[in-house]
Structure 1
Amino acid sequence: MKFKGTNRTIIILLVAILNVALDQLSKAFVRGHISPYQHYSYLNEHFNILRVENTGAFLSLGDGLMQPFRFILLTLIPALALLGTLIYVLIKHNLTSRLAIGIVCCIGGGIGNLYDRIVYGSVTDFMHIRFGALQTGVFNVADVSIMVGFGLILLDAFLNRNEGKKEEVIAEEQSE
């Protein structure tokens, strides 16, 4: 299904706003009720709530950068990339709905984390999953939005690739 016109723009903006709102509400709850490094375990210690303030990017990368490099790499460039990508999604009308929503989920998650970095000086991470030797880093709802978005983008690429192959087979059969 393809969304068109004003409805498309409204849906794109609503998905972005919803992602940012859910992220910020969850982080506000955690900041208000859980002290830094306070730890709660659930599901036989497979799911943990642990408040961590991340001053770097993914897995604290860039944490030790000096200013102004830290601002440029962790705030300015991401802000410009998010704005440019949002404009791209809004003006590029031939994107599938799945691809557009995937990109917008990534944008919403990015905005949520960028907002934290600008307003609080760090990103609040609070979820951790562990199954035996397999475990995640500490993450937040914005990170989940980003991962869901990338999943939709990859799914769209896979499905479009298969559709392209079907069209090639049909074209070959018709030419024979």
Structure 2
Amino acid sequence: MKKINRKIRILLILSLIMLNIGCDQISKTMVRQTIAPDQKIEVFKDNFILTKVENSGAAYSLGSDLAPLLKIILLQILPVIVLIFLLRLILIKTNYSKETILGFTFIIGGGIGNLYDRIIHGSVTDFMIMDLGIIKTEIFNMADVSIMIGSFIIIIVSIFSKQSSFFKEVNN
């Protein structure tokens, strides 16, 4: 019975990762096919804008001016190593909470989505900008959203698990 549960767990993890990759790649394909470079489409006035920018670097275009070999090492090889490490971690270790695993699946799925673009297209397609007054984003894509959601989940889980262990120590 334990072997079946392990297989189902692995299947669910891989399915969530693939769902993240799929949403990211479908949205980027649609943007590549329908929006001209630097075209701006106001979805909700100036608050939510669709546009298309090919980013050859990482976040905020960091690293876009690096030498080609260094760019491959830092923006392709290193991320592959980190993503494999994270995937291996959540597939093998079974003592993580469901929320932590969910967070990591979002991070891995988003990371693979952007990595795929860098390897296949030579750049990452970014296409959304939000301006909510006090919160204004740089341009981003669905992979970035996945990574941020996953990070947020892990931070919240970490905070609450530390608080609960703190309260256990105080009460003992």
TM-score by length of 2: 0.94
Task: Name structure 1 gaps, 5 residues minimum.
Answer: 172-176
How far did 1:133 drift?
5.9
Could you say which residue in structure 1 is the equivalent of 2:66?
65
Which AA in structure 1 matches 2:155?
L
The count of aligned residue pairs is: 168
For the pair shown, the structure with the greater C-alpha radius of gyration is: 1
Distance 2:136 2:64 in 1: 22
Deviations 1:57-76 (A, max 9, x none): 01100000012111000101
Task: Name structure 2 gaps, 5 residues minimum.
Answer: none
How far did 1:39 drift?
0.7
Could you say which residue in structure 2 is the equivalent of 1:33?
34
How far did 1:161 drift?
1.0
Deviations 1:88-138 (A, max 9, x none): 111111011101110111010000000000000000000000133641010
Which AA in structure 2 matches 1:24?
Q
How far did 1:48 drift?
0.2
Q: What are the equivalent positions in structure 2 for 1:1-176 lying under 5 Å apart?
A: 5-132=6-133, 134-171=135-172
Aligned CA distance change for structure 1 residues 133 and 163 (closer, same or farther; 3 Å): closer
Distance 1:9 1:149 in 2: 18
Deviations 1:20-58 (A, max 9, x none): 000000000000111111110122210000100000001
Which AA in structure 2 matches 1:44?
K
Moved over 3 A (4+): none
Percent identity of equivalent pairs? 40
